[in-house]
Amino acid sequence: MRRLLSVLLLAGVASSACAADPITLDTIKVRGTLRVGTPGDYRPFAIHNPDGSYEGADIDMAKGFAGKLGVRLEIVPTEWAKLQGDFDAGNFDIAIGGITITPDRAAKGDFSVALLEDGKRPVVRCADKDKFISVAAIDQPGTRVVVNPGAANEAFARANFHRAPITVNPENITVADQIVANRADVWVTDGIEVDLVAKRHAGVLCAAAVPAPFTHLTKAWYFPKDPGLKQAIDGYLAPAKVDGTWAATLEAAMK
């Protein structure tokens, strides 16, 4: 019985060690699966459809990268508020879907070549596009700010709006609906999302006429620190930027 118990304990230790193995390019190839984590709620990068499928520019590029590695693509759902925790736990190999480079994330992982340079701007009802053109103009007691939970949009709002009431909408994909329904006035998000929301709600929602974005930010893929993995990812994405593949993929997803 003691011998059996020892064997079981050793097996458990070995299993735990295996689970704790760092994510590298080699482990992905040996596993035969590329696990990609995404909140799946951010057009044009990654959207989780009601039928369970995923689409978006990052999704299309991830499929191509998995094919280049000769492995199967597995999409792992996460949430913005849980993304870093899931990343730290090793629940996926790469985080995609409109990930912003931040110092906190960079301290724990690595980033691909930049996929998009952007900045935060307000999306508002078209009647208010010339009203909310600065942080000060927005930060008034009568202005209802709406954000999605976790990540950079909520952090920006908390850091900059101290007088305007802030409402947290439970999901990113329906934030704009709160402004359409007159339950909120302003949503400050990435410029590419502002333009897409304005396009999808033409005549109702507009990009505020700000003289310049409120911030500067960079989008990229986020993954554990492994030189081989970074070389493989950059070796795939960098040429796609140069030859226009990434730009065409992003444009096709702007719908």
Mean pLDDT within 60-66: 98
Residue 19 has pLDDT above 60, yes or no: no
Residue 6 has pLDDT above 60, yes or no: no
Q: Model confidence over 159-203: pLDDT tens digits?
A: 999 999 999 999 889 999 999 999 999 999 999 999 999 999 999
Q: Model confidence over 148-159: pLDDT tens digits?
A: 988 789 999 999
Q: How far is CA 204 from CA 57, 62, 136, in A?
A: 26, 34, 24
Other residues' Cβ atoms within 10 Å of the Cβ of residue 32: 10
- Residue 56 makes CB contacts below 8 A (sequence gap 6+) with 42, 43, 44, 45, 46, 47, 97, 253
pLDDT score, position 39: 96
How sure is the predictor about 20, in pLDDT bands with cuts at 50, 70 and 90? low
Q: How far apart are CA 49 and CA 173, in angstroms?
A: 11
**Considering the chain, what percentage of its residues have pLDDT values greater than 90?**
88
Q: How far apart are CA 211 and CA 38, in angstroms?
A: 32
Q: How far apart are CA 251 and CA 255, in angstroms?
A: 8
Q: What is the 3-state secondary structure (H, E, C) of 35-60?
A: EEEECCEECCCEEECCCCCEECHHHH
pLDDT score, position 21: 78
Q: How far apart are CA 94 and CA 110, in angstroms?
A: 10
How sure is the predictor about 86, in pLDDT bands with cuts at 50, 70 and 90? very high
User: Token pair 């193995």 is at which residue?
Assistant: 21
How sure is the predictor about 14, in pLDDT bands with cuts at 50, 70 and 90? very low
* Dihedral sign (CA 52, 53, 57, 59): positive
Q: How far apart are CA 118 and CA 89, in angstroms?
A: 29
Other residues' Cβ atoms within 10 Å of the Cβ of residue 17: 9
Average pLDDT, the chain: 92
Structural domains for the chain: 2-117+218-252 (3.40.190.10), 120-215 (3.40.190.10)
Predicted TM-score (pTM) of this structure: 0.87
pLDDT score, position 152: 87
Nearest to 42 by CA among 173, 156, 168: 173
Q: How far apart are CA 101 and CA 218, in angstroms?
A: 6
pLDDT score, position 12: 44
Q: How far apart are CA 164 and CA 185, in angstroms?
A: 10
